Structure 1
Amino acid sequence: MPKKVDHQERRTLIADALMRVAADQGLEAVSLRHVAAEAGVSAGMVQHYFRTKDEMMAFALAVVRERSQIRVTEAMAGLGADPSPRLLLRTMIAALLPLDERTRDDGRVALAFLAYTAVRPAAAPSLREDTVRLTGFIASVLPPPNADAAAAGLLALMEGLGVYLLGGQYTAEQALAALDAHLDLLFG
């Protein structure tokens, strides 16, 4: 009897390997061969699941997106039924920031994907959609009259803090203090 193969599990194994290669060596080091070696599978198996590097990248980005969503959902679950808008935003943004080792690899990969889309515009639509949704949510929670502009600024702050955290310029405490100071300005 032929062995049952869990295709989603294999795709995730390969995407996790891609993310480790990207986090350790940068996206320029990502190739079918490098990813196969990291995953402990043949290059042919990688090609069976992902015909191109772009397909691999899109799937790995989906994995990062899913992990981020899980972190945000878990963090928000602890807030109770009716958290203040400020606490809601702080909790969500803190869950998205690369504040510890567990989240740094995802942060490095997400940053690498952002850079990747700068030179591969065809890969950008999913990130653009995520940005529009996130900015819209943040704007819906912020006080008027300039909620849209403030949401864009808060998202830019989050991304900048993420870059500084990944680069080692800020500690987690410094990043959270900057976030708190900005939220204080927005909420008065």
Structure 2
Amino acid sequence: MPRQVDHDARRRQIAEAVWRLATRGGLEDVTLRQVAAEAGVSARLLQYYFGTRSQLLLGALEILNTEGEQRARQRIALLGEDPGMHAIVRGVLLELLPLDEERRNRHLVYVAYFVRFLADPDLAAAVHQTPPALENLIADLLTGAQELGRLRPEVDASAEAAFLVAGAEGLQASVLLGQHTPEQAVTLIDHQLSRIFSPTPGDPPSA
């Protein structure tokens, strides 16, 4: 009886090869043949699962994003049944910081993609067409906090969400470069959140 193939596992196996190559030397000159060799599969099989080189890079990035979102939900779930909007927003922003090996490796892959997107108009176009999901999520959370009286009424939720995401992404780079420690980055995030949230006993939660 033929062995059942786990297609999701095979796609992830190939995506992991892209991530390893990205962290070792970037994605500017990575070829389908190199990815196939790294993944231990044939180039034909790689093309069967992903198609062109651009489709491969975008597909591997989509898998990385999906797994990052799943891990973020798991960590936020650990905050308890009713953590409050402050804690949830904080948890989302901390996912942008390389606070452990898993997040550090993920952000190193993102750096490689960032450089590749700057050089490849087709890949850049795909990114430009993607709505700013993280900003929108945080804006919705801030709006909800404002309706509950937990966010200062003068705060512009959309503008603040854009600022917080940009700030966290900047801290991400500075931590990777060693300019800030992870602890310093978390303290800066907490400082910004304390500026816009109305104080409540117990805020902010521990990291």
Give the TM bin, normalised by the shorter chain: 0.7 to 0.9
Give the corresponding residue for 2:110.
Answer: 110
Deviation at 1:19, TM superposition (A): 0.6
CA distance in 1, matches of 2:78, 2:129: 27
Larger radius of gyration: 2
Could you say which residue in structure 2 is the equivalent of 1:58? 58
Structure-1 residue corresponding to 2:171: 161
User: Compared with structure 1, are the counterparts of its residues 33 and 72 closer, same or farther at alpha carbon in structure 2 (3 Å cutoff)?
Assistant: same
Q: Deviations for 1:60-119, whole angstroms, at most 9, x for unmatched residues?
A: 111111121112111111222332322111112113322121221211112322333333
Change (3 A) 1:125 1:99: farther
Q: Which protein has the bigger helix share?
A: 1
Q: CA deviation at 1:165?
A: 1.9
Q: CA deviation at 1:127?
A: 4.3
Percent identical across equivalent pairs? 40
Contact 2:136 2:161 (C-alpha < 8 Å) held by counterparts: yes
Gaps of at least 5 residues in structure 1 are none
TM-score by length of structure 2 reads 0.80
Aligned-residue RMSD, C-alpha: 2.2
User: Which 4+ runs in 1 deviate beyond 4 A?
Assistant: 124-131
Matched with 1:151 is: 161
Larger deviation: 170-179 or 107-116? Answer: 107-116
Q: Which has the higher contact order (CA 8 A, sep 6+)?
A: 2
| Distance in 2, Cα, partners of 1:166 & 1:6 | 35
Aligned equivalents of 2:125, 2:112: Cα separation in 1: 16
